[in-house]
């Protein structure tokens, strides 16, 4: 894995720089997005996204992320994507829009909503043809091609190479949010290879970055992943903290809510605005006054085991059955985020 230092060379990608405090609109959008209020964040971007390609791409990214964390909002994400594609001007913007299409198709396929695997591969291939080697959007493209290789094609070697390129590129461009994802997936591959020390390091780095960025919706998955490679009682403490955050956000991520609750014997989730004790330790002071998503349609909870064939789920007592956000509830998916 690459050096963990946050220093970087090259220009920063303004479309992925996560905390643009100098821009009041983008700052407000980030605060809402990071707390799982994707609908509100998208609404703020709706006026400029109607005519501006950059705003349309950013709005699409937010709505696709909502699909990833809630398994809902598919039609709105597709509509936003079509607008972004129509407004795109030049290879860079067209390539970025193709990258978003590939990601949305990947998420839809992984959750068994609709098999769009061919669309995912085609769109990401188109993005690769459009984006030049030095593009600040290249690292994100590499990461998403790694996801397709790992989870749809079962190509571990190709996924490893893609994640490594994405990690180096994210470091070069100072894209810390993407680094939190590349650390996470490189660690997951190390875990599958039995290298718990490297997995613990990668999951720990991912958690640290997400806490520093205030990316609240991503902290619970990071805690849960780290718990999988830590011994007890630390593992139990991490899972309990993850569950508190999931409850805080109203069962978001929905796939993690199902996974954590049976493991801890927890009661049904509290009201989303019922801030749990200890939440301020993760830098979420004042969050109780922020609206939270009520989009808890649940896909299959992920596990650390290999995924079942895409679009299919294996029940505990029977043969594979057709999947989907509700029908896949008992299946074992890879970590989606």
Domain ranges within the chain, ordered by starting residue: 17-131
Closest CA to 252 of 242, 239, 262: 242
Q: Please give the structure tokens belonging to residue 10.
A: 């090259």
Please state which CATH number belongs to domain 17-131: 1.25.40
Q: Mean pLDDT across the chain, nearest whole number?
A: 79
Helices and strands (H and E) in the chain: how many: 13, 2
Closest CA to 148 of 171, 180, 181, 125: 125
Please name the residues in contact with 273: beta carbons below 8 A apart, sequence gap of 6 or more.
Answer: 288, 292
Structural contact between residues 200 and 235, judged by C-beta atoms closer than 8 angstroms:
no
Which whole number is the average pLDDT over 82-104? Answer: 97
Structural contact between residues 230 and 199, judged by C-beta atoms closer than 8 angstroms:
no
pLDDT per position as a tens digit, 26-79: 889 999 999 999 999 999 999 999 999 999 999 999 999 999 999 999 999 999
Structural contact between residues 276 and 81, judged by C-beta atoms closer than 8 angstroms:
no
* pTM of this prediction exceeds 0.85: no
Kindly report the length of the chain.
Answer: 337
The residues facing 312 across adjacent strands are 322
Structure confidence at residue 20 as a pLDDT band (50, 70, 90): low
Residue 290 has pLDDT above 50, yes or no: no
CA distance 246 to 299: 15
């Amino acid at each position: 894995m690459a050096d963990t230092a946050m220093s970087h060379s090259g220009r920063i990608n303004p479309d992925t720089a996560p905390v643009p405090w100098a821009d009041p609109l983008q700052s407000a959008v980030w605060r809402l997005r990071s707390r799982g209020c994707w609908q509100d964040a998208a609404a703020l971007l709706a006026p400029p996204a109607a005519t501006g390609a950059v705003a349309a791409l950013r709005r699409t990214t937010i709505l696709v992320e909502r699909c990833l964390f809630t398994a809902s909002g598919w039609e709105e994400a597709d509509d936003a994507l079509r607008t972004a594609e129509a407004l795109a001007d030049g290879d860079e913007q067209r390539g970025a829009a193709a990258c978003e299409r590939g990601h949305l198709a990947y998420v839809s396929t992984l959750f068994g909503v609709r098999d769009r695997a061919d669309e995912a591969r085609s769109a990401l291939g188109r993005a690769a043809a459009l984006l030049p080697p030095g593009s600040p959007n290249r690292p994100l493209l590499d990461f998403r091609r790694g996801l397709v290789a790992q989870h749809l094609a079962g190509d571990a070697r190709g996924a490893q190479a893609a994640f490594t390129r994405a990690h180096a590129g994210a470091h070069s461009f100072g894209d810390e949010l993407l680094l939190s994802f590349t650390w996470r997936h490189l660690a997951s591959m190390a875990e599958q290879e039995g290298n718990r020390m490297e997995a613990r390091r990668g999951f720990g780095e991912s958690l640290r970055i997400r806490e520093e960025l205030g990316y609240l919706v991503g902290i619970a998955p990071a805690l849960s992943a780290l718990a999988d490679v830590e011994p007890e009682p630390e593992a139990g403490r991490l899972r309990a903290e993850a569950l508190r955050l999931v409850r805080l956000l109203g069962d978001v991520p929905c796939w993690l809510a199902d996974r954590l609750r049976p493991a801890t014997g927890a009661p049904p989730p509290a009201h989303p605005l019922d801030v749990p004790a200890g939440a301020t330790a993760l830098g979420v002071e004042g969050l109780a006054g922020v609206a939270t998503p009520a989009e808890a349609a649940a896909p299959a909870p992920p596990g650390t085991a290999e995924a079942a064939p895409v679009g299919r789920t294996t029940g505990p007592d029977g043969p594979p059955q057709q999947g989907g956000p509700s029908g896949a509830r008992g299946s074992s998916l890879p970590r989606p985020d």
